[in-house]
Amino acid sequence: MYNIRTLGEFIIEKQQDYPHASGELSSLLSSIRLAAKIVNKAVNKAGLVNIAGAFGSENIQGEQQQKLDVYANEKFKSAMAARDQVCGVASEEENDVVDFEKALGRNAKYVILMDPLDGSSNIDVNVSVGTIFSIYHRISPIGKPTTIEDFLQLGNKQIAAGYIIYGSSTMLVYTTGNGVHGFTYDPSIGVFCLSHESIIIPQNGNIYSINEGNYIKFPLGVKKYLKYCQKYVPDENRPYISRYIGSLVSDFHRNMLKGGIYLYPSTAVYPNGKLRLLYECNPMSFIIEQAGGTASDGRQRILDIQPTELHQRVPFFVGSPNMVDKVETFLKQFPDQE
């Protein structure tokens, strides 16, 4: 019989180690855990029930919403609304902030930002997808309606962040600023069990993850870096291995465990990048830094970028620190498009 340490037990056990720990934060993480179980059940039924495929509307970014996007968004919102700790939610699937403080009349001190179902277009072909979340202390007065400033905080102000990956097994990975820990869902007993304590990313890796179909649209520095990755240099363990799933959570998770870099640069179509600063890049950057890695927009640390709008996009380079440093060197050396 193996010794099970559940997510709930681990949160309580480690609570004193976290500078922002409180019973309220623990309760909030528990609500995320509950929503993850509900969404996991729906993901596992995709193809058996009418929950896969397009919903028939677009989100604010002009992207076709999937049925599971809408389902996951509603389930996570409901889980947050059921807890008195959350005063508002900002979601990739919502045009504006959802203000619980005003609607429900509560005195809450946390705001949540989330991508309810990253990579949802892959559901129809049974590829792993995920949920990304980010938690901040509000900066507006408690008891008052939330303000946009509560959500446009620097990434380095996060008090917790994490993701759930729905794959061959379902995992919840999170940090509260004192290391990164992963919990695998055991459906036989209905709990998340500690499986990856204190995750550390290798300083170097041999995996690069990028949609090379957009190669012609990449900045020159990124093109030069890709040629560097593909060059045969046995003493440096090159050429590197190209691995790209197309779900940020999946590519990120693999690279954090094995060592590698994920790249989503600016392109001719998306001159500011495609990934969202608040819902994807900030939480993943907080996680990777806590695991010993690096996250950059090619010029500066992601967590030091001041957000200016809810759905702001940025280029994103994240992973093993030596690999991110190298791509930054190429971008600095070759700053212009061909």
The answer to whether 94 is annotated as binding is no
Mean pLDDT of 237-261: 96
Question: What pTM did the predictor assign?
Answer: 0.93
The answer to whether 26 is annotated as binding is no
- How far are the Cα atoms of 279, 300, 324 from residue 307, in angstroms, in the given order? 11, 14, 22
Q: Is the pLDDT assigned to residue 316 strictly greater than 50?
A: yes
The answer to whether 228 is annotated as binding is no
d(CA 301, CA 23): 31
Q: Is the pLDDT assigned to residue 141 strictly greater than 70?
A: yes
Mean pLDDT of 160-177: 95
DSSP string covering 159-227: SEEEEEEESSSEEEEEESSS-EEEEEEETTTTEEEEEE-S----SS-SEEE--GGGGGGS-HHHHHHHH
Q: What is the mean pLDDT of the chain?
A: 90
Peptide bond into 239 cis (omega under 30): yes
The answer to whether 204 is annotated as binding is no
The answer to whether 50 is annotated as binding is no
The answer to whether 63 is annotated as binding is no
The answer to whether 115 is annotated as binding is yes
The answer to whether 244 is annotated as binding is yes
d(CA 82, CA 100): 10
% residues pLDDT > 90 (the chain): 72
% residues pLDDT > 70 (the chain): 90
pLDDT, residue 1, reads: 42
pLDDT, residue 17, reads: 63
The answer to whether 255 is annotated as binding is no
d(CA 145, CA 99): 7
d(CA 126, CA 274): 23
Chain Cα centroid distance, residue 98: 20
The answer to whether 168 is annotated as binding is no
Residue 294 confidence class, pLDDT cut points 50, 70, 90: very high
pLDDT tens readout for residues 44-77: 876 555 555 454 455 555 555 678 889 999 999 9
- 54-63, 223-232, 297-306: least confidently modelled range: 54-63
pLDDT, residue 53, reads: 47
- How far are the Cα atoms of 202, 259, 295 from residue 319, in angstroms, in the given order? 9, 7, 7
pLDDT, residue 20, reads: 54
- 22-36, 37-51, 139-153: least confidently modelled range: 37-51
Catalogue the E-assigned strands of 245-335.
261-264, 294-296, 316-319
pLDDT, residue 148, reads: 97
pLDDT, residue 107, reads: 84
d(CA 24, CA 80): 12
pLDDT, residue 59, reads: 56
d(CA 100, CA 103): 5
Q: Is the pLDDT assigned to residue 221 strictly greater than 50?
A: yes
The answer to whether 7 is annotated as binding is no
pLDDT tens readout for residues 100-138: 977 666 789 999 999 999 988 787 788 899 999 999 999
The label of the residue with tokens 């970028």 reads 305
Q: Is the pLDDT assigned to residue 153 strictly greater than 60?
A: yes
Residue 158 confidence class, pLDDT cut points 50, 70, 90: very high
**Bridge partner list, 192:** 185
**Bridge partner list, 133:** 114, 162
Find, among 219, 203, 179, 261, the residue nearest to 14 by Cα: 179
Quick one: tokens of 126? 């049974």
Mean pLDDT of 307-332: 98
Q: Which domains does the chain have, with CATH numbers?
A: 7-196 (3.30.540.10), 207-333 (3.40.190.80)
The answer to whether 121 is annotated as binding is yes
Asked if 267 and 214 count as a contact pair (C-beta separation under 8 A), the reply is: yes
The answer to whether 99 is annotated as binding is no
The answer to whether 336 is annotated as binding is no
pLDDT tens readout for residues 258-269: 999 999 999 988
